[in-house]
């Protein structure tokens, strides 16, 4: 019984770290441009289809195929910034959010037009055999997601807080007009943020879909990771790890012990209820920046 509990908790924690890795797509773009990108799930699906196209359809070596998918995703991110968000520099946050909703619809439509609605087998890029230690069973893709989430969280935290380019991007997120007055290129910072978002979409798609079926509906993981992003705070990268662990463990234990009792799917709802409870107490999330405004 105790082993089962720890098994459910461990797998839930790793699933939460996967959500944290996906949620970095929200935080990276928001941290650098103050744009809340609602199309994170669709960017992940586009990255996944590019990986499938390069490796499964064109027969490229996995390393070359991943490199090609990353390169195209970066170009897509740069195109999104150039065609949509460059014109919105200095505009309200609401305007930018509405544009990302339109981007979500557009990208889903493009995926359907190019690849259709049918399921496709995503390449097995991470071994599917679980790691078994005693009675503990750990899926390798989830373990890989956990390791990558930790590496990216600390690496991006260092980048935004220690590098000159990262500090400039943080200044852009604070206020476009002030950043311009300081001689910081807002266009360059936002373009780099979207390019980085394209890289993150490919990385997250590989650990999430390796050996699974790929359809346009795979974008739902973007909304599943939303509670993690909001719970941590949209400026905190390392905070995503703790938020992911909390959400993942709660969801895993709910699926194991509550769902069988009520015959429902409470596990998919509990993270959102938990998120709303925290945001009522602290709207900026656990680690979000508190802004002080003079009246």
DSSP line for the chain: -HHHHHHHHHHHHHHHHHHHHHHHHHHHHHHHH----TTHHHHHHHHHHHHHIIIIIS---HHHHHHHHHHHHHHHHHHHIIIIIGGGTTS-HHHHHHHHHHHHHHHHHHHHHHH-SS-EE----S--SPEEETTEEE-HHHHHHHHHHHHHHHHHHHHHHHSHHHHHHHHHHH-HHHHHHTT--HHHHHHHHHHHHHHHHHHHHHHHHTTSEE-GGGGHHHHHTHHHHHHH-TT-STHHHHHHHHHHHHHHHIIIIIHHHHTS-GGGTHHHHHHHHHHHH-TT-SSPPPPP---
Look at the block and give the residue holding tokens 């996906």. Answer: 22
Q: Which residues pair with 213 in a beta bridge?
A: 121
Interval 105-117 mean pLDDT: 92
Task: Determine the pLDDT at residue 294.
Answer: 41
Q: How many residues does the chain have?
A: 295
| Residues sharing a CB contact under 8 Å with residue 254, sequence separation 6 or more, in sequence order | 266, 267, 270
Q: Which of 183-187, 199-203, 230-234 has the highest mean pLDDT?
A: 199-203
Tell me what pLDDT residue 293 has: 45
pLDDT confidence tier of residue 122, bands split at 50, 70 and 90: very high
Most confident of 45-54, 90-99, 232-241, 260-269: 45-54
Residue 295 has pLDDT above 60, yes or no: no
Does the pTM exceed 0.85? yes
Residue 233 gets the label, from left (phi > 0), alpha (psi -120 to 50) or beta, of left
**How confident is the model at residue 123, as a pLDDT?**
92
What pLDDT shows up at residue 290? Answer: 60
pLDDT at residue number 54:
95
**Is residue 267 over pLDDT 90?**
no
Q: In the structure, what pLDDT confidence band is assigned to residue 106 with cuts at 50, 70 and 90?
A: very high
């Amino acid at each position: 019984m105790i082993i089962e509990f720890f098994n459910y908790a461990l797998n839930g924690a790793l699933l939460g770290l996967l959500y944290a890795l996906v949620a970095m797509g929200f935080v990276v773009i928001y941290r650098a441009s103050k744009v809340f990108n609602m199309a994170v799930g669709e960017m992940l699906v586009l990255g996944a289809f590019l990986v499938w196209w390069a490796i499964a359809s064109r027969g490229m070596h996995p390393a070359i195929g991943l490199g090609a998918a990353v390169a195209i995703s970066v170009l897509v991110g740069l195109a999104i910034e150039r065609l949509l968000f460059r014109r919105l520099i200095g505009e309200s946050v609401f305007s930018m959010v509405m544009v990302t909703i339109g981007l979500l619809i557009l990208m889903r439509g493009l995926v359907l037009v190019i690849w259709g609605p049918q399921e496709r087998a995503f390449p097995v890029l991470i071994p599917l055999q679980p790691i078994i230690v005693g009675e503990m069973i750990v899926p390798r893709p989830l373990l890989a997601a956990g390791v990558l989430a930790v590496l990216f969280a600390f690496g991006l935290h260092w980048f935004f807080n220690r590098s000159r380019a990262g500090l400039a991007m943080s200044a852009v997120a604070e206020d476009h007009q002030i950043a311009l007055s300081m001689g910081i290129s807002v266009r360059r910072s936002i373009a780099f943020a979207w390019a980085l978002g394209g890289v993150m979409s490919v990385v997250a798609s590989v650990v999430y879909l390796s050996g699974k079926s790929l359809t346009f509906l795979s974008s739902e993981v973007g909304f599943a990771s939303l509670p993690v992003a909001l719970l941590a705070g949209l400026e905190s990268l390392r905070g995503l790890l703790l938020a992911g662990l909390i959400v993942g463990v709660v969801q895993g234990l709910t699926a194991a012990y509550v769902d069988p009792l009520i015959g429902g799917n409470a596990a998919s709802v509990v993270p959102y209820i938990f998120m709303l409870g925290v945001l009522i107490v602290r709207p900026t999330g656990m680690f979000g920046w508190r802004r002080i405004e003079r009246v």
